[in-house]
Each structure stands twice: as structure tokens, then as C-alpha cells.
Amino acid sequence: MPEFVRRIPEGDDRERMMCADCGHISYENPKIVVGAVVVADGAILMCRRAIEPRRGFWTLPAGFMEMHETLEEGAARETWEEARARIVVDGVLGMFSISRIGQVQIFYRARFADDGPPQFAPGPESLDVQMMPFDQIPWDEVAFPTVRWALDAWRNQADGVPGAPVGNPASDPRGVHRYRNPGRGEPS
């Protein structure tokens, strides 16, 4: 039986349980994903993933919560890690259940914290970061169904007044369908 010890893995900033023999990391994360639809001048902050799953596909800044942080703190941290952007969270945009993989994903409406032109850059988990008008998002290169759902929710509430948070679409109320990109010849 391998021995696990608490260490800070290379490239990380938190202690993790690691196998003393092989270095395997046993993450102790909740199954909650938090993210943000960050908007400036009608364009949305999008990140091209540098990690699996879906490396090379576009996503919103989002990821697993860490222990001892709030949902809003997690969304802000993920935005910093992936897009090197400081944000202000304005309200819940949507909450999505993905039972197929045991996740709940919560997306917020957000804006850049600093005045002036938006400041952002790729973090270690992103190949590229761009501000994209809604009609220029490469829909056939979107990484996950919840990204599409959150972007649709933002578009439907784009007047700046947050409405009630949205949930799963009627076509996938429990989040059981795998995501396919119709633009790449995959069924939707």
C-alpha cells in the first residue's frame, strides 16, 4: 500500500496528499465548479484551454472550487489563474447540474475590477485569452455544454439586469449528455 504524505506539488501553491513513491496527487476538491462570464464593451472574456480535457477548445474562466473559499472567491480566483484578470462578481447567472460526471457548475455575471481598458493575459492553464463579441465566438470550438448554456443565459440577460439564475436546458435537464460540437461533424 503506497504511503501518502502532505506536500506542495511543483507548480502548485497548496498542500496536497501525494504518494511518497510515485508522486501521484490525490486531490481533495469538492465537485463544484465556479466560473464567470466577464464582459466589457459587449465582448466576453474567453480562454483557449491549455490542459485536458478539451485542450485547445474555448471556455469561460472556470474550475473546481478549493476548500475554504466562497463561490464568488472561487470564480475570481479561477479568472485570475486562467486569464490573469481581476474581476468584480455582479450576481449569479446560472446553475447547472451535470449528473453524468457528478458536478454542479455555477456561473456568475462579472466585470473587470480595474477602470480603463480590460487587463488580461493567458495564465498557465490557457493557450490564449481574448475578448470576443457574442457573434464572433467560435461555437464549433466551445469546450463544454455549460459554457454554451452560460453564454446563452448571458445573451438572454445582456441588458445588464441580472434575472433569476438559469438552469439546465429542457433538452438535458440532468446533464447526462456528452457534449458534441456540431461544427466538427459531431451530433449536438
Domain chopping of the chain, boundaries: 1-28, 32-169
Taking CA 28 as the corner, what is the angle to CA 26 and CA 34, rounded to the nearest 5 degrees?
125
Question: What pTM was estimated for this model as a whole?
Answer: 0.75
Per CATH, the number for 32-169 is: 3.90.79.10
In the chain the beta strands, taken as DSSP E runs, fall at: 4-7, 16-19, 25-26, 32-40, 43-49, 58-59, 62-64, 87-98, 103-112, 126-133
Residue 45 · residue 120 · CB < 8 Å: yes
Taking alpha carbons only, the member of 51, 41, 39, 42 closest to residue 79 is 39
- Residue-wise pLDDT for 116-154, tens only, equals 999 999 999 999 999 999 999 999 999 999 999 999 999
User: What are the residues whose beta carbons fall under 8 Å from the beta carbon of 53, sequence distance 6 or more?
Assistant: 143
Place of cell 480562454: 47
The pLDDT of residue 156 is above 70: yes
The Cα–Cα gap between 33 and 75 comes to 9
Per-residue pLDDT averaged across 152-163, rounded? Answer: 75
Residue 73: the pLDDT is 96
DSSP conformational letter for 89: E
Is 93 or 173 the better-scoring residue by pLDDT?
A: 93
Band of pLDDT at residue 164, cut at 50, 70 and 90: low
Residue 1: the pLDDT is 73
Taking alpha carbons only, the member of 136, 45, 33, 135 closest to residue 82 is 45
Residue 162: the pLDDT is 60
Classified by CATH at the fold level, domain 1-28 comes out as Ubiquitin Ligase Nedd4; Chain: W; (2.20.70)
| Beta-carbon count within 10 A of 106 CB | 23
- Residue-wise pLDDT for 69-96, tens only, equals 999 999 999 999 999 999 999 999 999 9
Residue 29: the pLDDT is 61
- Residue-wise pLDDT for 21-46, tens only, equals 999 999 876 589 999 999 999 999 99
